[in-house]
A and B are shown apart, each in its own frame.
Chain A
Amino acid sequence: MNTAINLIAHVGHHHEPFDITAIIMPVMLVATVVVGIIAIILLTIFKRWGWAIGIGKYIWGNWLTSLDPKKIGVMYIIVAVLMLLRGVSDAVMIRAQQALSTGDSSGVLSPDTFQQVFSAHGTIMIFFAAMGLMFGLINLVVPLLIGARDVAFPFLNSVSFWLFAAGAVMFNIPLLVGDFPATGWLAYPPLSGIEYSPGVGVDFWIWTLQIAGVGSLLSGINFLVTIFKMRAPGMTMMKMPVFVWSVLGALVLIAFAFPILTATLAMLSLDRTMGMHFFTSDFGGNPMMYINLIWAWGHPEVYILILPAFGVFSEVVATFSRKRLFGYTSMVWAIWGIVFLSFLVWLHHFFTMGAGADVNAFFGIMTAVIAVPTGVKVFNWLFTMFRGRITLSTPMMWFLGFVATFTVGGMAGVLMSVPAIDFQVHNSLFLVAHFHTMIIGGVLFGLFAGLTYWFPKIFGFRLNERLGKYAFWCWIVGFLTAFIPLYILGFMGATRRLDHYDASMGWQGLFIVAGVGVAIICLGIFFQLLQLGYSIWKRRENADLTGDPWNGRTLEWSVSSPAPEYNFAVIPTVHARDQFWVSKQSSAKPVKPRYTDISVPKNTPMGMFIAAAAFVIGFAIIWHVWIAALVGLIALIVLIIIRSLDEDTEKIITAAEVERIETAFLARKKQGQLA
């Protein structure tokens, strides 16, 4: 917005380089306001306010205040997808800039805007798109997979989601007022200190991450306790689905890495607001300590992202190969090997910063070693497929796309684990291509596979397969088209974050190819949105009547689709791994269950209010309005106390109601089986 104001002020003077955001931002703002006004006019003319208010009440009462993790999971995914779209727009701008900005052309973004765009891109993609989709999926399916009705602390779960949403809102505010950080997605000092970044951009970044980070930490604790303490009777740890094991590994990483982020961001904030000297370049500060600590968090963070994706593949490959997962025990050991090692490699993110050969050698070796358990997992998936009866469903396609991309990109990582090689390619586009391969080919493909796979369980109908496959092909072709040129450019010497380069470098051709790649990815996203819309339109034809659309192996497929609020009318007893598959093979007649009253948490808006108070505190500190921060803090404390005094937090679903729901499901199931 500030750039827009500058541009308008300087019209005709040609002092500012061309910046497309100066046009896009005001246009989008005006468009939003106009659409809003039109909506209000139409609602008034056609007297549909009652209808609109009804929708509002439904969303408030059934979704926003819900403590059902299935609902919370859907909300996480909606926010994450919106942020993913924002992150992709940033990517489009980056590609456009780098495809055009060489020689005399300065591209479509001013240098300062470009800095903000790539900083926002990384921050949004990691903290909101990837973490959001991941927590969404975890909320949707983990209780179902372990035969539980809910998470350990349902109210805390709501608080976690709303803190995440508050962070997402906060990081969109600079579109209207203030700035984004121009310091990269990790904001290294001294650049991010108050002296060199005096604006509010870095403060927005700090408080967004503090708020969202606390949400993540609380979720980590919540699901950890859930998995340890709420498994169905008979489900020992070694009978859990491997997805649950991988999530458990990720949760342990979250619990023990996120506090490092909290402390480090707090110290940076203290430097900026209270004149402290943790990371300043004078007065005895040590900027390298920030880099050390932020990566001590940052490395576990990337394993937090990938482990659940690996877990999805374990479920998907077994289900669509109609074969039990190969090497269950080695899978579990591999997960814990990865968890343990991910705390021992963080220096490989700054080999070049001068810690010397001894330190570099240790961390280089550890980094190479961590590839081993990952390799074990990939082989186990392939061995699962061997002699299986394979169905190339959309989730399975995402898995195959993962194998093709992640393994190669992972090898680029092993290459860089050698410090001597890393010295050549550190912070080049080779590095950028490597980690995007990991995150897109690994995390994103895994989450897409999981969302497609578990979609029927949550919504009651399947997604259209054909459009899903079009989306997949666009994504993988687009990804390869966008990133293979970047691997090459990295070897040719192109560094990351360049807003302009000399025409004599000969790089432009490859950048243009990369730009085409991102356009193909956008086509893939278009197909995904089309798939969603079309599938919703055709939901009756694609309804999942039996609750088990894929002939699955695990407990979630034993309940109806969509799953009832209480998940299981009767908590299952588990005797084996893949208990549901085992039960299906047995010809024993199902016993008519005895239904009892089920207690579920009541809806409450308090989670939202607590997050709102946290938002106020962060926002106030950003703008140095200390009184408002104090008010926010008092509000936060008061809200927590009020909630703690609330004794009436549960509601009963009567046995009769449960019976009604289950009988209806059994009727649909019979109908589905006959079809």
Chain B
Amino acid sequence: MSDSKVTFGFWVYLMTDCVLFASLFATYAVLHGNTFGGPPASELFSLPFVLIETLLLLTSSFTAGLALLAARRANKAQVITWLTITFLLGVAFLGMELNEFASLVHEGNSWQRSGFLSAFFTLVGTHGLHISVGLLWLMVLVAQIIRRGFTKSTVQRLAMFGLFWHFLDIVWIFIFTFVYLMGAI
């Protein structure tokens, strides 16, 4: 399987994922005011918390890039190091997000409370699901690199993972801008 077909194919898949997220964003935009008497976004979200989350994910996107560069130089130790850091940052991001979800549910603002909250949990939750898939992928990838080193397929898969991980950070830009920042206004 040639390099450029897989890269292009994966890129097209990422574009379709953009449209999926767009549908969820559109729904959030339409429903964000439908709090059904509950607290609005400005009362529910903590911006400093989200800023830390954002920087964690952004840094993990950067370290993923560094892992890719190390792979070009076939430096196995560096690749595994950077990927591990990426993984830990990703887990930290996810942990913070789950924490936020848990406290919202705990105070009675679950996805069942209103259209607004359904849309919020689903949009942000879908991003979190993608992150989870990415972390699982990363684990399998690291295992493959440890066992088989840099074959054509492991290098290619690493590159695809990089695309996926960067894409998720880009989606997050729009989530923190339109959900959290605009929500706080």
Contact = CB atoms under 8 A, between A and B. Distances in A.
Contact present between A and B (CB < 8 A): yes
Interface of A: 152-153, 217, 220-222, 224-225, 228-230, 255-260, 262-264, 266-267, 270-271, 274-278, 280, 282-286, 289, 293, 296, 637, 641, 644-645, 647
Given A264-B23, A275-B112, A270 B122 contact: yes
Contact of A225 (B12, B27, B115, B116): B12
B27 A645 contact: no
B19 interface: yes
Contact of B115 (A230, A255, A257, A283): A283
Contacts of B81: none
Nearest to A228: B8
Contact of A285 (B12, B22, B115): B115
Interface in B21-36: 22-24, 26-27, 30-31, 34-36
B19 A289 contact: no
Given A225-B8, A270-B118, A284-B114, 16 more contacts: A153-B1, A221-B9, A255-B16, A259-B23, A260-B20, A274-B111, A277-B34, A277-B117, A277-B118, A282-B36, A283-B114, A284-B31, A286-B30, A289-B27, A289-B30, A644-B144
Given A255-B15, A259-B19, A284 B36 contact: yes
Contact of A256 (B1, B19, B115, B136): B19
A256 B116 contact: no
B12 A255 contact: yes
A8 to B, nearest CB: 40
B30 A260 contact: no
B13 interface: yes
A14 to B, nearest CB: 44
A289 B122 CA distance: 15
A229 B8 contact: yes
B73 interface: no
B112 A276 contact: yes
A271 B122 CA distance: 11
B106 interface: no
11 contacts: A229-B4, A230-B5, A256-B16, A260-B20, A270-B111, A274-B111, A276-B111, A277-B34, A277-B112, A277-B113, A284-B114
Nearest to B30: A289
Contacts of A221: 9, 12-13, 16
> For the complex, would chain B's binding face be called helix, strand, loop or mixed by DSSP majority?
helix
Contacts of B2: 229
Nearest to B24: A263
A284 B8 contact: no
Contact of B34 (A225, A260, A285, A296): A285
Say which size band chain B's interface belongs to.
35 or more
A480 to B, nearest CB: 39
B105 interface: no
Contact of B27 (A222, A224, A259, A278): A278
A293 B27 CA distance: 9
Contacts of B79: none
B58 to A, nearest CB: 25
Contacts of B4: 229
Interface string B134-165: 00100010001000000001000100000000
B112 to A, nearest CB: 4
A259 B16 contact: yes
A283 B9 CA distance: 41
A281 B12 CA distance: 37
Contacts of B30: 286, 289
Contacts of B113: 277, 283
Contact of A277 (B16, B26, B114): B114
Among A221, A266, A296, residue most surrounded by chain B Cβ atoms (within 10 Å): A221
Contacts of B23: 259-260, 263-264, 293, 296
A224 B15 CA distance: 13
Contacts of B24: 263, 267
Contacts of B118: 267, 270-271, 276-278, 285
B68 interface: no
Contact of B136 (A228, A255, A260, A637): A637
Contacts of A260: 19-20, 22-23
A-B pairs with lowest CB-CB distance, top 5? A284-B34, A284-B115, A263-B23, A276-B118, A259-B20
Contacts of A647: 153
B94 interface: no
A350 B20 CA distance: 22
A283 B36 contact: yes
Nearest to A262: B20
A107 B12 CA distance: 50
Contacts of B71: none
A293 B111 contact: no
Contacts of B56: none
Among A230, A275, A277, A637, residue most surrounded by chain B Cβ atoms (within 10 Å): A277
Contacts of A230: 5
A306 B117 CA distance: 39
A292 B122 CA distance: 18
Contacts of A644: 140, 144, 157
B119 interface: yes
A590 to B, nearest CB: 30
A270 B34 CA distance: 17
A222 B117 CA distance: 36
A258 B9 contact: no
A263 B115 contact: no
Contacts of A220: 16
A260 B19 CA distance: 7
Contact of B12 (A224, A264, A270, A282): A224
B140 A641 contact: yes
Given A283-B114, A283-B115, A641-B140, A276 B122 contact: yes
A525 to B, nearest CB: 36
A275 B112 CA distance: 5
A228 B4 CA distance: 11
